[in-house]
């Protein structure tokens, strides 16, 4: 079915493609203008480049990180995120099925689940040691509240 397009249809499609192209070019122009203005303002010391940085320094840092095996680290992070999501989802579904199946376990667990649901999720992690940090010499928990691991040694 190879039909010829009418002249009006071809003109409509051409106009539509032109508008899409203009939107894309305008978006790119806005991005380039924003980055250029940001760079100029940082170079002229109008904005504090220590707080706001500047595009050239961000690019320099990114290229420096790329030379230090950045893609490998990104791959590990993505892998750990996906595995953590799948394990958490799997355990959540399994626990939900068990609680749905057993009325007794559901009634026993209900008050604990209500309390756990009301806690901030950051407070539920077990230890700061697993997060790659360490305790400082003044025995503070680096501003974190640990529910299950509160020894300050």
* Claim to verify: residue 30 and residue 78 sit in the same structural domain: no
Q: What is the pLDDT of residues 89-117, one digit of tens each?
A: 999 999 999 999 999 999 999 999 999 88
Residue 113 falls inside a structural domain: no
* Claim to verify: residue 16 and residue 52 sit in the same structural domain: yes
* Claim to verify: residue 28 and residue 50 sit in the same structural domain: yes
* Claim to verify: residue 94 and residue 45 sit in the same structural domain: no
Q: What is the pLDDT of residues 125-147, one digit of tens each?
A: 665 555 555 544 444 444 444 44
Q: Quote the number of domains for the chain.
A: 3
Residue with tokens 């504090």: 48
**Which residues are CB-neighbours of 121 under 8 A, at least 6 positions away?**
none
Q: Which domain holds residue 16?
A: 7-68
* Claim to verify: residue 150 and residue 128 sit in the same structural domain: yes
Residues 102, 95 contacting (CB under 8 angstroms):
no
* Claim to verify: residue 62 and residue 51 sit in the same structural domain: yes
Residues 106, 114 contacting (CB under 8 angstroms):
no
Residues 98, 105 contacting (CB under 8 angstroms):
yes
pTM of the model: 0.45
* Claim to verify: residue 43 and residue 73 sit in the same structural domain: no
Residue 33 falls inside a structural domain: yes
* Claim to verify: residue 53 and residue 79 sit in the same structural domain: no
* Claim to verify: residue 77 and residue 54 sit in the same structural domain: no
| Token representation of residue 151 | 């020894």
Per-residue pLDDT at 73: 87
CA angle at residue 13 from 10 to 14, to 5 degrees? 85
| Token representation of residue 16 | 């539509």
Residues 131, 125 contacting (CB under 8 angstroms):
yes
For CA atoms 18, 19, 20, 25, the dihedral sign is: positive
Residue 110 falls inside a structural domain: no
* Claim to verify: residue 26 and residue 62 sit in the same structural domain: yes
């Amino acid at each position: 079915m190879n039909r010829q397009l009418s002249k009006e249809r071809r003109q409509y499609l051409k106009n539509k493609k032109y508008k899409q192209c203009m939107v894309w070019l305008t978006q790119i122009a806005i991005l380039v203008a924003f980055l250029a203005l940001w760079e100029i303002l940082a170079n002229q010391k109008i904005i504090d480049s220590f707080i706001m940085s500047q595009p050239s320094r961000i690019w320099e840092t990114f290229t420096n990180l790329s030379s230090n095996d950045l893609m490998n680290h990104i791959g590990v992070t993505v892998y750990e995120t996906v595995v953590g999501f799948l394990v958490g989802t799997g355990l959540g579904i399994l626990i939900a099925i068990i609680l749905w199946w057993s009325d007794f376990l559901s009634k026993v667990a209900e008050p604990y689940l209500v309390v756990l649901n009301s806690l901030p999720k950051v407070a539920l992690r077990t230890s700061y040691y697993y997060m790659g940090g360490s305790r400082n010499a003044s025995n503070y928990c680096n501003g974190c509240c640990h529910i299950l691991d509160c020894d300050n040694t």
